[in-house]
Homo-oligomer: A and B are copies of this chain.
Amino acid sequence: MHITKPSELESQKETLRIETFSDGVFCIAVTLLSIEIGVEIHGGLSNAGLKENLLEKWPICLAFLISFINVLLAWMGHHGLFKLLRKTDNSIMITNGLLLMLVALVPFPTKTLGLYLNSDALETATIFYTGYFVLVSLAFRLLWYAAARNKSLLADGITHKQIKQTTRNENIGLICNTVILAVAFINPWIALALSFGMWVYWIVFA
């Protein structure tokens, strides 16, 4: 273990601070999703009426589930990426800001998917939703580009192999999401199923 200089410590604290702020955005975005879900008030509704009303909520619940998993995985990916960083510069601040902005806006495509999953506009809703997550992958790719192009930003002991591995992972994520978007133009349900399959693979093998 080598001696850490004061200025080194300072920039580590800065990086931690940015990560904590980012964690907050992920955490709030994921929890805010829920306030969109609710049954409407109908005066004098019967038990059978409420049951039907609740059962009709499955599309928005499914959209919530999909986005919850997406944001949670994005959070884990974000953390994995920041673990490789020793300090941050302007380009990391900008690309990270772009990523957070997209994460904060996830409730928008989620609501859209939930409202139109069971309608004639399913195709447009799915294209919008899967396209949105292509943008999220792209922001991740840009963040990693900003980090990897400058070796002095990376933590000590990061090997060339680790950098290559992360680059490959970010590329795969971007490609997978783009393929899913392309499939959404052909068949929305297959696109959503592929998206789900990708997580299972991710969770079980990574």
A96 CB → nearest B CB, Å: 10
Of the candidates B31, B35, B36, B72, the one whose C-beta lies within 8 Å of that of A97 is B72
A155 within 8 A of B: no
Chain B residues closer than 8 Å to A86, beta-carbon distance? none
Given contacts A32-B34, A35-B32, contact A54 B111 (CB under 8 A): no
**A120 to B44 alpha-carbon distance, docked (Å):** 6
Beyond A97-B69, A112-B54, A203-B94, whether A49 also contacts B104 by CB under 8 A is no
**Closest CB in chain B relative to A141 CB, distance in Å:** 20
Which residues in chain A, 70-99, are within 8 Å of chain B measured between CB atoms? 72, 75-76, 79, 90, 93-94, 97
**At the interface, yes or no: A30 with Cβ under 8 Å from chain B?**
yes
Check A50 against B94 for contact (C-beta < 8 Å): no
Against B, the Cβ 8 Å flags (1 = close, 0 = not) of A12-32 are 000001001101111111111
Contacts of A105 in B (CB 8 A): 34, 37, 61, 64
